[in-house]
Each structure stands twice: as C-alpha cells, then as structure tokens.
C-alpha cells in the first residue's frame, strides 16, 4: 500500500471515530450570538474582540440586516491569523485585534481605553446606534483596521512615511497610535508629512535625552482633542502644542540640550542597540541624504576600541566614537590598528558618518566627531525654533580703488550665508578660514570662481551662531561649536538626567546671580590644573582665547574632553553654575 493510501485511511478513521459534532437547530426567532455566548460561558474565555464581533452581529441581526453579507463585506479580513497573533503593549501581551480596538476607541471617544474595560466601553459606544449606522460603523472599523495594519507593518504612502513608521517601532511607543489613526484618516500624505516630522523630532530628542514617557498618554489625548477641533493644518496645531510644553514630562529638548547629551553622555551604555542604530542612521542620512538609509544590516562598532588606552573611559562610549559598519567588516576592523581600520572603513563605507575620518584618532578627534554628528542629528530631527543667530558684520575695508574688479553685482546675502554655512558644516571645531579661502571653496550655491572675497566680506550680514569672527581685515572666521542654535527665548539647557531646567546664563545674569565679567574656574586636582573663563554681558563664555555660546562647549574645549559646563565655579560666590541654576528656580517671596 502506498503512502497516499495510508494517509487517506488514517484520516477516514479520524473522521469516523474521533470527530464529534454538536448540531443546534435554531428557530426563526432564536438569537445565534446570544446562544454562542451562553455555550461558551464555561469554555475558553472570549477575547474582547470576540465579544465585540458578537455584539455587532447581534445588533445587525436584531435590526434586520443580513449578517453573512456584512461579514463578507467588512469583517472577514479581521479573521486572519495576523489579527489573532499576540503583540506586546507595555508589560502585557494581547491580540493584535484587541490592541486595534483599544486604539480605535481611544481615537473615537477621546479617552484612554484600558484592556479590562474594552468590551464594556464598546458596548456603551454602540448603545444608541440606529439601524442605518450599523453598516457604516462596520465600514469605518474596516477602514481604520487597514490604517492600523499599515502603521504596525511600517507601510507608508511615501518613503518618508515608511521611514517614520519604522523609526516609531524602534522607539517602542504605542500611545501615539490614536493620533496617527486620526491623521492618516483625515489628511492626505502631503498634508500630514510635516506633522509626522514634528512628532518624530519630539519623540527622538526626548528618547536620546532619556526623559520620561509617563505623561505621553495624557498629552496625546489633549493633542487629539485639539486636532479634532481645529480647521487649520495639523502641522500648526502639533507644533504649537508641543512647543508649549514646559514640564519635564513633555518639553521639547532644544538643540543645545541635545548637543550637551550627545557630547557628554555615554550613549553606548544608555540606549538600546536598536536606538543607537536609529541615531547613527539619522546622522548618516543627514550627512549623505542621497544614499540608501537602511541600517538594519549594519553593526554598531567602536572607532577607537575600548582595549586601546588612548582615551579616557568616559569618552569611549560617546557618539563620536561610534559608527555603523557591515557586520563582516566590524569583526575584521575591531582588532586592527587605526591606520588599517580607517583604510578598511573608507574602502567599504566612505560616506555618511564615516566620511572625513582623520589620519590620527584620539580623544580630541572623538570630541570633534561628536560635534559633527550632533550637528547632523539636529538637522535630521530639527527643532522648530532652531535658527541662525543674526550677527552684524560691518564692512571693514575701504572701497577698492580699482573699480574694474567690481564687474558683477554681489550675490544675494542669503546665498552667501548659506554658502558659508555649507563650507564650515563638515569641518571640525577650531577650523579658521579667511574670506579668500571661503570664496574659493565650491558649494551647492556657488561653483569655483563664482564668488569673490569682497562678496563674502560685504554681502555677509547673517552669520550662523556656531561661527565667530576673529579678525575683520581680512575677514577671518572660526568654527567654535555645533551648527545649531535656538532662539534666545527658548530654554537651551534642561538638565537631562531627571530635572528640567529653564535657566540659561542670560537668565542668571538678568536675576543678578551672575554678573558680567564674572570669573569662572574649573579645577582638576589630580592633574594640578586650573581652567579659567569669563562671562560676557550677553551670556557668552570666553575661555582659552575663544568665545562660546554654551558653558559645556567652553569647558569641553578647556579640558580637552566631554564635560558638563554647569560644573564651572563662580569665583565671586564660590558657587557652581549648577548651584546658581537651582537658586534661580527657588520660589520668590515678596516682602
């Protein structure tokens, strides 16, 4: 007997001897859904989504609709294995369909729906449904379930949307889902694109800063209510709502706050590998926007290996020492010398986060690379108030006597500012260029020979805040910090650890806690070193012959490693800047 015949005989025996059927004959007036619930009362517990299904079809049948027609039109896609599979939400596992109904009801009702109350809330929601609304509701459920499926499977209508959804899965936050259901249902892709970018920036910046997510539920419900009431584009509503958050549980970290984290914190030990890959992938995309941004097949590697004692421990785990490499290359490069490692990296992945690797690599180069990557991070996930700081640059040279030199009108000043920004963008801190050198370098705005030094000198009226004029004749500019600053009115330095501070050096000056020309010191007893700096009247810090817009940048430059600038001590008061910041937050009582 062949194998096929044996199989058929076995199945015949199973069907004849093992299969038991229970047949219930229903009369015209019997309710199949109620009978099903009664029979299952002591059997396998029904999921909330099972109860919701039974309720909907019970209502449909009671109103005279054909359940089979409604099932085939609207519910059948929800019977697949994918919808029955379990997904994790917080500390709990629940079926994908249950999770969808919780998010759907939250979006529809505007309040948080907890798992134990899901069916009860849905039953209340449908209590007043009319006959005509039953098919409409089932159609709506089908529409939103399709949106939810695309959200959870990272299927966007554009490449940017797909990237947003894949990054959202790495952030592992689902509280934003009701807002996304509303946005994806209410607006076309081109109208919601910038709104999604704002949400992503807010989430990623808070993730990197290791800020709490405990209040996200309340915030997303508030935002949902605002979006439903507004007639203006969602981008405006989302931007204004997030910018108005000032508490630790919701504020939007500014560029300086994020830069301080990326320059000083050991993110290799603080973030999951998936989140580090997200950060490096975003930096890579900002530095090489035309290249493929997929990083899932790349490994996170050190540039300077921990077993090489060329750098202090606290700097090895910072952003500047991390990169993305093909997995096979990572194993080979990890034990090689820097010269060999650099050569291997540039042969295989020469662009993005791996471009411009220096011939020597040590603590100072790690810091410079951290600055560059922090800048690219702020470009990939921009803050709405990140703007260049306007600086007046009066002409310092007399009008040229040789009028034949001026044969063309000066280019628009905004193009000159953009050219200067691009020229300095990829260069390390400390780079010094004259107007002649700036004019001679090509950019996306000017090719070789299209710009002259006098154009730069007379046409530049807006200087990015990370650059500093150190000489005016000839015009000489130095890169002093990361190319991203914010409006002076925004709090630039929240304390990233646990407490959110809104105090800046300018505020400490305005309150009289600091005074212009106050001397700052930072001591390193083991090295027998004392570093000094001074506070300018405008809040800038002058240290080591340079001017800095951030206390951390000033101290980092002084000590040659990543450092928290709020540890400077004010000589006049013998208090640290951190102590003064706490004083500034103390309640003020009138006499």
| DSSP code of residue 386 | B
Tokens representing 234 are 């969602």
Answer whether 254's CB lies under 8 Å from 297's CB.
Answer: no
Least confident segment among 256-270, 342-356, 450-464, 563-577 = 450-464
Tokens 């005074």 -> residue: 515
- Measuring CA to CA, how many Å separate 494 from each of 156, 251, 377, 411, 547? 34, 9, 18, 40, 22
Mean pLDDT of the residues in the chain: 80
pLDDT of residue 408: 38
Residues 232-258 have pLDDT tens digits of 889 999 999 999 998 888 999 988 788
Q: What is the CA radius of gyration of the chain?
A: 31
Separation of alpha carbons 294 and 281, rounded Å: 8
Overall average pLDDT of the 370-389 stretch: 81
pLDDT (tens digit per residue) in 159-201: 999 999 999 999 989 999 999 999 999 999 999 999 999 999 9
Q: Which of 524, 513, 511, 585 is nearest to 555 (CA)?
A: 524
Separation CA 395–CA 416 (nearest Å): 15
Q: Are 375 and 467 in contact (CB under 8 A)?
A: no
- What CA–CA distances, in Å, run from 471 to 435, 466, 480, 541, 546? 10, 16, 14, 18, 12
Q: Are 339 and 362 in contact (CB under 8 A)?
A: no
pLDDT value, residue 549: 73
110 or 417, greater pLDDT: 110
C-beta atoms surrounding 403 within 10 Å: 8
Give me the numbers of helices (H) and strands (E) for the chain, helices first please. 26, 13
Please answer whether residues 425 and 486 qualify as being in contact, where contact means their C-beta atoms are separated by less than 8 angstroms: no
Q: What is the pTM of this model?
A: 0.65
Higher pLDDT, 265 or 219: 219
Residue 336's pLDDT band, with cuts at 50, 70 and 90, is: confident
Burial bucket for residue 164 (CB in 10 Å: 0-12, 13-18, 19+) = buried
């Amino acid at each position: 007997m062949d194998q096929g015949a044996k199989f058929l005989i076995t199945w015949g025996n199973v069907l004849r001897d093992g299969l038991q059927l229970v047949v219930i004959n229903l009369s015209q007036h019997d309710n199949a859904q109620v009978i099903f619930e009664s029979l299952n009362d002591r059997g396998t517990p029904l999921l909330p989504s099972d109860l919701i299904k039974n309720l909907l079809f019970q209502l449909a049948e009671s109103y005279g609709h054909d359940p089979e027609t409604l099932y085939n039109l609207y519910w059948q896609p929800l019977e697949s294995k994918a919808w029955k599979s379990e997904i994790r939400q917080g500390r709990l596992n629940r079926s994908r369909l249950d999770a969808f109904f919780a998010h759907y009801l939250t979006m529809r009702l505007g309040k948080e729906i907890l798992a134990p109350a899901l069916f009860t809330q849905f039953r209340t929601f449908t209590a007043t449904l009319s006959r005509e609304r039953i098919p409409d509701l089932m159609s709506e459920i089908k529409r939103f379930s399709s949106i939810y499926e695309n959200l959870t499977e990272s299927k966007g209508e554009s490449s940017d949307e797909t990237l947003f959804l894949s990054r959202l899965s790495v952030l592992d936050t689902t509280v934003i889902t009701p807002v996304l259901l509303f946005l994806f249902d209410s607006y076309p892709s081109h109208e919601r694109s910038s709104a999604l970018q704002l949400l992503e920036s807010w989430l990623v910046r808070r993730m990197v800063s290791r800020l709490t997510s405990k209040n996200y539920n309340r915030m997303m419900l508030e935002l949902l209510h605002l979006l439903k009431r507004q007639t203006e584009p969602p981008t405006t509503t989302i931007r204004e709502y997030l910018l108005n958050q000032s508490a630790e549980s919701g504020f939007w970290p500014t560029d300086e706050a994020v830069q301080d984290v990326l320059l000083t914190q050991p993110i290799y030990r603080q973030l999951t590998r998936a989140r580090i890959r997200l950060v490096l992938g975003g930096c890579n995309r900002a530095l090489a926007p035309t290249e493929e941004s997929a990083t899932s097949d790349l490994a996170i590697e050190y540039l300077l290996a921990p077993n090489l004692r060329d750098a202090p421990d606290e700097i090895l785990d910072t952003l500047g020492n991390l990169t993305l490499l093909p997995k096979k290359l990572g194993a080979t490069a990890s034990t090689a010398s820097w010269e060999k490692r650099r050569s291997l990296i540039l042969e295989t992945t020469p662009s993005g986060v791996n471009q411009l690797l220096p011939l020597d690599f040590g603590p100072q180069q790690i810091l410079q690379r951290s600055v560059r990557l922090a800048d690219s991070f702020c470009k990939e996930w921009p803050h709405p108030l990140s703007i260049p700081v306007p600086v007046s640059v009066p002409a310092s040279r007399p009008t040229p006597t040789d009028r034949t030199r001026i044969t063309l009108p000066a280019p628009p000043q905004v193009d000159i500012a953009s050219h200067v920004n691009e020229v300095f963008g990829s260069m390390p801190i400390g780079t010094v260029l004259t107007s002649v050198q700036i004019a001679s370098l090509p950019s996306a705005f000017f090719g070789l020979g299209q710009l002259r030094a006098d154009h730069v000198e007379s046409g530049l009226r807006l200087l990015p805040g990370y650059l500093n004029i150190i000489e005016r004749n000839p015009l000489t500019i130095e890169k002093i910090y990361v190319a991203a600053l914010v409006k002076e009115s925004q709090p630039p330095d929240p304390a990233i650890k646990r407490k959110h501070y809104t105090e800046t050096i300018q505020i400490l000056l305005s309150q009289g806690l600091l005074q212009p020309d106050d001397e700052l010191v930072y001591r390193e007893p083991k090295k027998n070193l004392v570093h000094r700096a001074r506070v300018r009247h405008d809040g800038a810090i002058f240290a080591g012959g340079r001017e800095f817009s951030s206390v951390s940048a000033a101290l980092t430059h002084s000590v040659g490693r990543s450092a928290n600038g709020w540890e400077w001590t004010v000589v006049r008061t013998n208090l640290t800047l951190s102590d003064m910041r706490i004083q500034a937050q103390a309640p003020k009582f009138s006499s």
